[in-house]
Chains A and B, each alone.
Chain A
Amino acid sequence: MRFLFKTHYNQDIDHLKHGGDRFWYGLLLVLAAAAPAALGTFYLGELNLVMIYAIAGVGLMLLVGYTGQVSLGHAAFLAIGAYTHSLLLGAGLPFLLSIVAAVLVSALVGAGVGWIALRMTGIYLAIATLAFAMLTEQTISRAEWLTGGFRGLAVPQASLFGMPLTQGWQHYYVTLTLLVVTLLAALNILRSSTGRAMVAIRDSEISAESVGINLAVYKTFAFALSAGITGLAGALFAHRLGYLSPDAFTFLISLQLLLMVVVGGVGSMRGVIYGALFIGFLPQLLAIARDTLPPQIAQAPGLEPGIFGLILVLVILFEPQGIFGRWLKIKSYFQLFPLYRRATHRRQKTYLRTERLR
C-alpha cells in the first residue's frame, strides 16, 4: 500500500494529487494526441465518437451521478445542440461562436426543463424528461421550414482559424480539446461549493436546505449545465453525422447515454470515460454477436434497446458502482493481497432516515 503524506490543503484541492497521477494522465494525453498517427481512418472516427459520447456523458453524469436527478431525455439536448450549431453555421457564424451559441441555447432549454421539473424526482422525473425528448423530436420533425423535418438538414462544413475542417484527424483534435476542457470545467465545479451543493441535493434534500442550499436554484443550474455540455457534444456529433434528421436523436440515444453513466460508475468522472468506451464499442460487439446468434433472435426488432435495457438492469443490480467501482475493488484486492476479504467493500448498515419529511 502507498501512503500519501500531505503537507498542504492544496493537495486535496488539486486535480492531480501526486507524481503518479501526473505521470499517468500525462501519458494518456500524449497517447491521445498521438492516436491520429497510429490509427486508421475508421478507428480514429470511432475514437472521435467515443470522445463525443464522453462529453455528453460528463454532462449527464453531473446531473444523474452528482445531483441525483435522472434524465431519460438527454438525446433532446444532443439534438438541440446539433441543430443550433448546424443552423448557425449555415447562417455564416464562425465555428467557435456557433459552438458557444449551441451550448448556450441547450443550457437555456435545460434550465427551462429543470425549472418545470423542480418538484419531480425519480420515476416521475424520468417520465417527464422522456416526454420532453419526444416533444423535441416531434417539434424538429414538424418545423420543416427550419430543420427540414425528415428530409434532413445538411451540416455545413466548418472551418477553424481559416482552415477548413475536412479531415478526420482535424475533427479528432477539436473533440479531444473540447473533451479536456469539459472535463476540467466539470471537475472544477465539483471541487467548489457549487458541486458540493449538487452532491448535497443528491444525498439529502432536507439537509441541503437546512445548510442553506436553495434547491430550486441548484437543481435548475445542474440541469442547465448538464444540458449545455450535452449540447456541446451535439454540435460535434452533427459533424460526425453530416446530415441531421429527427430519427438520429431517438429514445435509444437517451437510453445509451444513461447506460454509459450507469455502466461507467455513477458519481465518478473517470467512469464516464469507461462508459463511453463501453457504449462506443458495444455496437461492434453486438454486430459480432448477431452473426453467431440464430437468425430468429438476431433479426428480432428491438434487439438493441432490449440489450441496452438488460445491461442497465444487470449493472444496477449487481455492480451499482459500475466499471469504476469494479476497478477500485480490483485495485484494492492487489494492494491488500493476501488480506482482502469479501466483506471489505460491503456497505455498513444503513440507518433509518427521516421518512416523515418526504
Chain B
Amino acid sequence: MSYLAVEDLSISFGGIRAVDDVSFDVEEGEVFAIIGPNGAGKTTLFNLVSGIYSPDGGSVRFAGRDITSLPAHRIAPLGLARTFQNIELFEHATVLQNLLIGRHVHRRSTALSHLLFLPAVRREELEHRRRVEDVIDLLELAHYREQRIANLPYGVRKVVEVGRALCLEPKLLLLDEPTSGLNPEESEDMGFWIEDINRDLGVTVVMVAHDMGLVSRVAGRVLALNEGRVIAEGSAAEVQKNPAVVDAYLGAD
C-alpha cells in the first residue's frame, strides 16, 4: 500500500468539476510533482487531501489510514503539513510566533495549566523553542526572527511558510507552488531546501509547480493535470514530451 493513495477523487463547484476522478500514489520518501495549466485543479486537489474541502467522491489514504472525511485539524497531527499558493501566514505575529504556532500538534499541556504557566509548561515551551530554532537555522531565518510578517518581503514570507510547515515535524509535506513569485536566486535556494527536507529530514514531498526546471531537478515522478483530470504521469522528461501535456499548455497559453 502506498504512503499517500488518492483514488477517484472528485469535487465540483457549481457546474465545474474542479477535480475529476483523480487517482495517484506517492511512495514514502519521494518527491512527487504535480503540474498543469492555470485552473487545472492542482490547488483544489491539495485542499481535498489536506482536509480543507471534503470530496464529492473518491478516497484519500495516508500512511495506511483513511483520511477522506477527516477535517484539516485532525489530519495535521497525523504528520501532514502544507503551504499555500498565496501565502497564508499569521500576518500580525512575528516569524518566531508563526513557527511556534506550527508546533501546535506537539503541545502536551492543557489550557488550565497555561493559565497558571506551571513549570511543566515552561519546560514544554523551551522544548518547542529549541525545535523552532533548528528550523530557523535550516532555513536561515535568524535575521527575521523577531519581525512581524506584515513587514517582510514576499520571498521571506514564502520561506517562513515552509518553516512553519516543518515545525509540525511532518512526514508528508504538500507545497503549493513553492517558487512562484520568487526571483531566480530565491528559487534556487528553495530548490536546495526542498532537496534537504526530503533527503536529510526524510520528509516525503508533494509539490505543485510551474517551474519545469525545478521539477526536473528535484522531482522523481510527475503528475500532469488538466481541467481536473489526470493527463499524464511519469518522469519529468516523459511528462514534458507527452503530447497531451504539450497540448494542454499550448491550449491554455
Contacts and interface: CB of A to CB of B under 8 A. Distances in A.
A247 to B, nearest CB: 34
Given A188-B117, A210-B81, A204 B73 contact: no
Nearest to B176: A354
24 contacts: A10-B126, A13-B122, A13-B125, A188-B114, A189-B114, A193-B103, A196-B97, A199-B101, A202-B90, A203-B92, A206-B52, A206-B88, A207-B90, A208-B101, A210-B76, A211-B101, A211-B164, A212-B105, A215-B73, A267-B92, A348-B150, A348-B153, A350-B150, A351-B154
Nearest to B87: A351
B72 interface: yes
Contacts of A34: none
Contacts of B48: none
A196 B88 contact: no
A214 interface: yes
What's the dominant secondary structure at chain B's contact region? helix
A221 B102 CA distance: 20
B250 interface: no
B168 A211 contact: yes
Contacts of A207: 84, 88-90, 164
A356 B51 CA distance: 15
A197 interface: yes
A37 interface: no
B104 interface: yes
B14 to A, nearest CB: 13
Contact of A188 (B43, B88, B104, B116): B116
Interface string B69-89: 001111011000110111111
Interface of A: 9-10, 12-13, 185, 188-189, 191-197, 199-200, 202-204, 206-215, 221, 267, 347-348, 350-354, 356-357
Nearest to B133: A9
Contacts of A10: 122, 126
Contact of B93 (A199, A214, A348, A356): A199
Given A196-B104, A207-B89, 6 more contacts: A192-B114, A192-B121, A196-B100, A203-B93, A351-B86, A353-B88
Contacts of B152: 348
B109 interface: yes
A200 B51 CA distance: 18
A347 B152 CA distance: 10
Chain B contact patch, size range: 35 or more
Contact of B125 (A192, A206, A351): A192
B87 A353 contact: yes
Contact of B77 (A188, A212, A356): A212
Contacts of B91: 203-204, 350
A356 B88 CA distance: 12
A11 to B, nearest CB: 11
B115 interface: yes
Contacts of A191: 117, 125
Contact of A199 (B50, B90, B103, B153): B90
Contacts of B129: 9, 12-13
A356 B14 CA distance: 14
Contacts of A221: 111
A204 B97 CA distance: 14
Given A194-B114, A211-B105, A213-B73, A354 B90 contact: no
Interface string B133-156: 000000000000000001111100
A150 to B, nearest CB: 37
Contacts of B109: 192-193
6 nearest interchain CB pairs? A212-B76, A203-B90, A192-B114, A188-B117, A209-B72, A212-B105
A45 B171 CA distance: 59
Given A199-B90, A215-B73, A351-B86, A194 B117 contact: no
B216 interface: no
Given A188-B117, A199-B93, A204-B88, A9 B130 contact: yes
